[in-house]
Structure 1
Amino acid sequence: MKTSNLSRRDWLKKGALTLGGLALMPSDIWAHAVETAQTNQTKYLFPTTNSFNEFTPPKFLDPELKAILRANENPYGPPPLAAKAFQENVFSGNRYAWKTLNNLISMIAEKENVSPKQILMAPGSSDILEKVAMVFFQNGGDVISADPSYMSLINVSKSVGGQWKSYKLLSDSQHDLKAMEKAVDDQTKLVYICNPNNPTGSITNAEDLKTFCKTVSKKVPVFVDEAYIELSNNGIADSMVSLVSEGHDVMVARTFSKIHGMAGLRIGYLVGKEETINRINEITRGGMGITGPSIMAATTSLKGQEFLDMTKTKIAEARAYTQNYLEKKGFKYLPSQTNFMIFEIDMDGNSFLKEIYGRQVGVRAFKFWDKNWCRVSMGTMKEMEIFTKAMDEIFV
């Protein structure tokens, strides 16, 4: 793997030019795409993505929505004790939080059975995905992933000169690991696995994925995005993080945005080989983007399990309610082990979004496999009832 000779300043300059100024604010790429598509009145957010795309939502202010079910947020968080820790530490916001960040890194390293030098902190896991894309694809190359998959890393890699090689999920919605392994060649820079997968919510068998990672990582790095792993049936028992401590060239990303309910507090981390962490740190410092109060909130949340268990139970109940509704109404859906579900809609995506936003419900709509889909996040039971009522009115 070719090592970059770019300095941090040269890299940021290159990234700013390549991404039209967005490289300095990777977490804003989706929001910028929405604003641009709405202004230009385009059908899709990313017109250059042929096999997978997202429909442009109508302009709508969040206070006008009765149910915000579009970003896979946890409606129950953050945990009360974590929120208290955040509030108490606001008053030390005049100081840099390196000590508290290092304490959190040590906690995570112990939890994941790796060295603190194998942890990269960042404001959310999407930030990590995008920074990895910028580092790995600044000189081109291919990224291999599922079709469909979470597009953050893929879109940024394409923006800086990479190419996307996608492989359709199997009929049971698992990754086609055999096809992806076969596709690895001398142009491949990275294999990206989102598990559980977004936007489908499906999970790939852990033992099959471990075998895949062990084999493929001998040729190229494998990035496993586990943003939703704690919400899956087996939870972190299905994680690939043990492969890192075994010495395999595997990266695993986690976030506090989902089961911990801290999407707005922005904190996540990457576990990987020390050489990989150093390579990323050569040109970007993820820890600089995290606030001290967020660090203390995450530290507090790691010490408690009760909130996480409650969250998983309530989200599972909302998912069962939604699944029963979809089955009753005849909608075809994909099996989910996350806090969202995706199902086919026999309706143009833009028209559907206009209708459902008009009923004060925010969801997402996608186009892939030549079909239109709605992805709905799991909210409170009251929010899910608002959603199903809106669906009844649209699909009479």
Structure 2
Amino acid sequence: MTLHQRPSLREVPAYKQGKPAPAGASKLSSNESPHEPLPSVLASIQEGLSTIHRYPSIAAPALTSALSEQFDIPSEQITLGAGSVEVASQIIHAVAAEGDEVMYAWRSFEAYPSLVRIAGATPVEVPLDAQSRHDLPAMLDAITDKTRLIFICNPNNPTGTVVQAEELDSFINSVPRNILVVVDEAYVHFDRSAVRADGLALFRKYPHVAVLHTFSKAYGLAGLRIGYAISPTEVAANLRKVAVPFGVSDLAQRAAVASLAAIDELSVRIEEVVTQRERMYEGLAQAGYPVVRSQANFVWIDAGEKTLELEAQLADGGVIVRAFAGEGLRISSGTKEEVNRVLAALPALNTAEVATA
């Protein structure tokens, strides 16, 4: 006899982690920080090891207080989760019921469709435009009376493109006030564009905006799993109801507080990542590859049918990347040596074929 299981899960793809790198290869498949934790962060974690037999504080007063002070936002509007992806899941469960629609650009963060289906809601995917950017007019046209939630990943993962301030402001102003717009800023620290939309400014301006941030990327805490949402008070209250109890460990909370206090040191590291991202972009563009200008900690090669071929070529050169078959490659910005490997593995050969893929 077959065990009863939820039939709808047949449509939910399992999340695929970035491929691990074999010995000697560079792992540029997961958008992780190439830097080891700061000494002050490690010291804070070390101090908390003697109390891991106790449950962490669900309220996380030290961290929420630090974030509240940094952003001048009431603590009750700040909620935590095991990375911004888990907070995104909380938002979907809190806002959308079975049959409701959750909209996002596509391709965007690959967890969105799975999270929506797991919650029993209906995903609505709006294709990116010809420049690999959010097509906001098309997204407005896709709103129905069933739309409950819209995700704007800015900068977008995996293309690295940004939604400009004026166009996102106009978009949010056009969205009905009973639909929550979530500005997912997981990569905001790497954005050097002069036109970037400020999610927090939009949150302060509009009553139907939430913002997602993570400590995984710029802060280098991917292994500790901690992110947060800044949302309207009534939304935040419901996020706490659907959150997994004790889902954010005391060690993660401690590391996050220490990271906020060490932002000057981290800023130097962030600039190194941005510098290597730009160097990788310029090198690949000059070599003739269809690389997209990125404001995240990675670059996107719009390789189309050549995607798996280029993935294999990079692997032969000792570089493991994230490939989306038939679409493109996402290559994380690593150290100078790792970027050198990328550029060496993809020389200016057969670029005419790649450019027309």
| TM > 0.5 | yes
Distance in structure 2 (CA, Å) of the matches to 1:117 and 1:95: 24
Which sections of structure 1, spanning at least 5 residues, go unmatched?
1-13, 35-56
Runs of 4+ in 1 over 4 A off after TM superposition: 18-21, 234-237, 393-396
Which letter does structure 2 place at the counterpart of 1:154? P
Answer whether contact 1:85 1:300 (CA < 8 A) is retained.
Answer: yes
Report the counterpart of residue 319 of structure 2 in structure 1: 361
Answer whether contact 1:319 1:378 (CA < 8 A) is retained.
Answer: yes
Shift of 1:347: 4.9
1:233/1:110 Cα in 2 relative to 1: closer, same or farther (>3 Å)?
same
What secondary structure does 2:212 align onto? strand
Which letter does structure 1 place at the counterpart of 2:342? F
Report the counterpart of residue 8 of structure 1 in structure 2: none
What secondary structure does 2:199 align onto? coil
Specify which of 250, 259, 276 is matched with residue 301 of structure 1.
259
Shift of 1:246: 4.4
1:151 equivalent to 2:136? Answer no
- Aligned runs of 1:1-396 on 2, under 5 Å? 17=6, 29-31=14-16, 61-98=20-57, 101-216=60-175, 218-233=177-192, 238-246=197-205, 248-285=207-244, 288-345=246-303, 347-367=305-325, 371-392=326-347
Identical aligned residues as a percent: 27
> Alignment RMSD, CA only?
3.0
Answer whether contact 2:20 2:27 (CA < 8 A) is retained.
Answer: no
Distance in structure 2 (CA, Å) of the matches to 1:66 and 1:289: 33
Report the counterpart of residue 43 of structure 1 in structure 2: none
Answer whether contact 1:138 1:160 (CA < 8 A) is retained.
Answer: yes
1:284/1:332 Cα in 2 relative to 1: closer, same or farther (>3 Å)?
same
Report the counterpart of residue 354 of structure 2 in structure 1: none
Answer whether contact 2:333 2:339 (CA < 8 A) is retained.
Answer: yes
Shift of 1:380: 0.2
Which sections of structure 2, spanning at least 5 residues, go unmatched?
352-357
Aligned length: 348
Which letter does structure 2 place at the counterpart of 1:176? D
Which letter does structure 1 place at the counterpart of 2:27? I
Answer whether contact 1:114 1:244 (CA < 8 A) is retained.
Answer: no
Answer whether contact 1:224 1:250 (CA < 8 A) is retained.
Answer: yes
1:333-380 Cα offsets, whole Å, 9 max, x none, are 11101110001336543444344334432101124xxx5311100000
What secondary structure does 1:191 align onto? strand
Shift of 1:224: 0.9
TM-score, normalising length from structure 2?
A: 0.87
